[in-house]
Every structure is written in structure tokens, then in C-alpha cells.
């Protein structure tokens, strides 16, 4: 089991590393120039000042370096990262000496450690996640405020989904093809077809303040009259009251698939020889269901939970934007609009690390629920 965990941890670290490389490749392909955007947000320089300010801002933001260790270009058209005049002159001389089509053949250029990714990676290993292009704040300080919000929303939603899926799936799995089962299946199927952004909008229009019923707040985490001196339970209740609609979107989006998995597993187990043997021993239906059937029926749901956690993280971009929740999803959306590359790559990397961690936790839960899996892994 220990060797298996070490292999999974090593594989997860490799996955996070590849994800960071993908994030930097993605930011290099994004349109626009964040340095130019920062300059135009501050003032409108003249064309002469623009070139000088652009070079200064790119150097200050580290954008004058190549994005990765290697790059692609030609001798006739050197990459724009080759800002050294002597280096560019050497490339153009080679292009003239080679002449013809060879000067336009793509070549791989090696930049060494003087690149944006290497600087960011070394800073990350030292605990420095970089600085936001938008407001100059440290990236980790920004994510430290947003991460608990998104993680809390996702974990609370997963817990509610798991409880409801076990209850509804166990009830309909024991009464397969009954009237209740058919109605529940049709309702969950229709719910599964609804996009999360449409569902969030409808909940806002129906239950949000200013809507048809106006029961719940439409955004944020706390009320305007929220005070730190309130009792802890009152402050917690205020936060949970604001999270009713966002959590409802998460739960209603994830519930159909989880319920279907539990229903299928329960219906198959109730017709298995295991249950027949337990009944022959005189065990009650309640004990058979809760002691023997549900733990086995939860196995496919545990597998699904790891992937669903990453799905909730990606879906948080939509939900947190609609409900104005200051989480990681909203931070990613703001970073995309403002071309804030350090924040965007950090959110991508942190989301990938949380997904890898959730899958590792699911593996441990798998071994805890089913001893056969634990024994098989110990034998590896």
C-alpha cells in the first residue's frame, strides 16, 4: 500500500508539472498584450512614448523573456524574444548566407534558463507565486482569500449530493420500475439536461431578491449589515443563507448522475446471491440495505466524486460569476478578462493540484470501504 501511494503521489506531481507547462503554453497563445493594456488603462501616451513605456513595462513584468526553454522560429524571421541586437544580426547573417528556402525552415531555438517559465518555477519552489499584473498584489495573497470559498462550496455541495444520492438511489433501487422510480428517473433526466448557467439564472429570477419570490440574496457572501461582533452562529447563518442558491445549482447539476449510479448498484445488489444468502440467515431488510448493500453501492459514487470535484472547480467560473462570489472561479474569470497571466496560471495549477489530491483521497476511501482492494494493493 505504501509503494502504491508513493507511485500515485509521484504521478500526481508529474501531472501538475505537465499542467503548469500547458498553462504557460496556453498563455503564450492568448491574444493581446498585458503590458499594452496596463499602459492604456493608466494614461494615453504619444506614439513615441508608447514604444519606450512598452519596453519598460514588458521588462518589469518579465514579458521580454521567452515563455519556455525552447522556441520555434526561422533564421529569416527570428522570434521576437531575440531582443539582443547582436543575436538578431547573427541570425539575419545566417539567413543571408544560407539563402533560398532554407532560411525559412522552422528551427528550434534553445533559450536556457532565461525564460518566463523557469523564473516562475524557481519562484514557486521558494513559495513565491508571482505578482498580479492588475493590482500588483502577490498572487498567493489573492488565492489565499479565494481558495477557502471555492473549496468550501465544492465540499459542501459534494456532501449534500452524496447524501441525497444514497437516499434517493437506495429508495428507487429497491423499488425498481415502480411509479415513484419512474417519476424520479424522468425528473432527474430532465434536470440533467439543464445547463448550469440556465439553472442559476432561473433560480435567481425565481428565488432571488427582486425576483418572483425573493427569498434569498442574489450574490455575495454576507449581508450589508453583517458585523464582526455578531455571535458566531448568526455570522455562519448569514453566510449559509447567501450560499443556498449557489449550492443548489451545484447539487441539482450533479445529483442526477450520482443518483443513477447508486440506483443501478442497489438494484443489482438486491437481486444478487449475496442478498439472498443474507435473507436466508434471517437478517432484516433494513440491516441488509444499510450494512451490506449501501457500502458496496457507494463504490461507483466514490470513483465519481474525485472527477466531480474537478468538475465543480471548473463550473465555479460560471456559478461564482453569476452569484458574485469571490472564489477561485471568479478570480480566473477576472484574470482572463484582464490578461492577468500569473493569476490565471496559478488558478489552473492549484485547481489541478486539488483534483490530483481529491483522486488520491478517493483511492484511500476505496481501500477503506472495500477490503479486497486494500489487500490487492498491499500484494503489489
Q: pLDDT: is 36 or 150 the higher one?
A: 150
Q: Is residue 236 part of a domain?
A: yes
Q: Report yes or no on 74 lying in a domain.
A: no
Helix (H, G, I), strand (E, B) or coil at 226: coil
108 DSSP β-pair partners: 72
pLDDT at 71 over 80: no
pTM (2 decimals)? 0.75
CATH number at residue 202: 1.10.3720.10
Q: Tell me whether residue 246 is in a domain.
A: yes
Three-state DSSP at 64 gives coil
Q: For residues 343 and 299, what is the distance between their CA atoms, to the nearest angstrom?
A: 36
Phi/psi for 208 (5° steps) reads: -70, 160
Q: Determine, yes or no, domain membership for 338.
A: yes
Residue 364 contacts by C-beta under 8 Å, 6 or more apart in sequence? none
In a domain? residue 23: no
Give me the pLDDT at residue 253, please.
86
- Domain for residue 214, yes or no? yes
Share of residues in the chain with pLDDT > 90 (%): 0
Give residue-wise pLDDT tens across range 341-371: 888 888 888 888 887 887 777 777 776 666 6
pLDDT at 309 over 80: no
Taking CA atoms, 59 is separated from 47, 56, 62, 67, 97, in Å, by 19, 5, 5, 13, 32
Q: Write the pLDDT tens digit of every residue in 188-212.
A: 888 888 888 888 888 888 888 777 7
Confidence of residue 88 (pLDDT cuts 50, 70, 90): low
Q: Do the domain assignments include residue 48?
A: no
Q: Cβ neighbours of residue 110 under 8 Å, at least 6 residues apart?
A: 69, 70
Given a contact cutoff of 8 angstroms between Cβ atoms, the answer to whether 27 and 63 are in contact is no
| Per-residue pLDDT tens over the stretch 116-157 | 888 888 888 888 888 887 877 888 888 888 888 888 888 888
Residue 65 neighbours by CB distance under 10 Å? 18
Q: Which domain holds residue 222?
A: 142-378
Higher pLDDT, 311 or 344: 344
Number of domains in the chain: 1
Q: Please give the Cα distance from 226 to 224 (Å, whole number).
A: 6
What's the CA dihedral at 324, 326, 327, 328 to 10 degrees? 100
Q: Is residue 93 part of a domain?
A: no
Nearest in space to 76 (alpha carbons), one of 54, 47, 105: 105
The predicted model gives 156-161 an average pLDDT of 87
| DSSP secondary structure string for all residues of 182-196 | HHHHHHHHHHHTS-H
Amino acid at each position: 500500500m505504501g509503494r502504491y501511494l508513493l507511485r500515485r503521489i509521484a504521478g500526481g506531481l508529474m501531472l501538475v508539472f505537465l499542467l503548469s507547462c500547458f498553462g504557460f503554453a496556453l498563455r503564450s497563445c492568448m491574444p493581446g498584450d498585458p503590458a499594452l493594456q496596463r499602459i492604456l488603462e493608466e494614461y494615453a501616451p504619444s506614439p513615441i512614448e508608447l514604444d519606450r513605456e512598452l519596453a519598460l513595462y514588458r521588462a518589469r513584468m518579465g514579458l521580454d523573456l521567452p515563455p519556455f526553454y525552447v522556441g520555434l522560429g526561422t533564421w529569416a524571421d527570428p522570434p521576437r524574444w531575440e531582443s539582443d541586437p547582436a543575436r538578431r544580426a547573427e541570425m539575419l547573417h545566417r539567413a543571408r548566407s544560407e539563402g533560398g528556402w532554407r532560411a525559412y525552415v522552422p528551427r528550434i531555438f534553445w533559450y536556457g534558463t532565461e525564460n518566463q517559465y523557469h523564473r516562475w518555477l524557481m519562484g514557486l519552489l521558494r513559495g513565491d507565486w508571482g505578482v498580479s499584473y492588475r493590482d500588483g498584489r502577490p498572487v498567493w495573497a489573492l488565492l489565499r482569500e479565494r481558495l477557502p470559498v471555492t473549496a468550501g462550496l465544492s465540499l459542501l455541495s459534494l456532501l449534500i449530493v452524496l447524501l441525497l444520492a444514497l437516499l434517493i438511489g437506495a429508495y428507487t433501487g429497491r423499488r425498481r420500475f415502480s411509479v415513484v422510480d419512474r417519476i424520479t428517473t424522468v425528473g432527474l433526466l430532465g434536470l440533467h439536461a439543464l445547463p448550469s448557467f440556465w439553472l442559476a439564472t432561473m433560480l435567481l429570477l425565481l428565488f432571488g431578491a427582486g425576483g418572483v419570490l425573493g427569498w434569498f440574496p442574489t450574490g455575495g457572501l454576507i449581508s450589508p449589515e453583517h458585523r464582526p461582533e455578531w455571535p458566531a452562529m448568526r455570522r455562519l447563518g448569514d453566510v449559509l443563507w447567501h450560499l443556498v442558491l449557489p449550492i443548489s445549482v451545484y447539487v441539482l447539476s450533479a445529483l442526477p448522475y450520482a443518483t443513477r449510479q447508486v440506483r443501478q448498484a442497489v438494484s443489482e445488489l438486491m437481486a444478487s446471491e449475496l442478498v439472498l444468502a443474507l435473507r436466508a440467515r434471517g437478517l432484516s431488510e433494513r440491516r441488509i440495505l444499510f450494512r451490506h448493500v449501501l457500502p458496496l453501492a457507494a463504490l461507483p459514487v466514490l470513483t465519481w466524486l474525485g472527477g466531480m470535484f474537478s468538475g465543480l472547480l471548473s463550473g465555479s467560473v460560471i456559478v461564482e460569476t453569476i452569484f458574485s462570489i469571490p472564489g477561485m472561479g471568479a478570480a480566473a474569470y477576472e484574470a482572463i478578462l484582464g490578461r492577468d497571466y500569473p493569476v490565471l496560471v496559478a488558478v489552473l495549477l492549484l485547481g489541478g493540484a486539488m483534483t490530483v489530491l481529491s483522486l488520491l483521497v478517493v483511492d484511500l476511501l476505496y481501500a477503506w470501504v472495500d477490503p479486497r482492494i486494500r489487500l490487492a494493493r498491499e500484494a503489489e
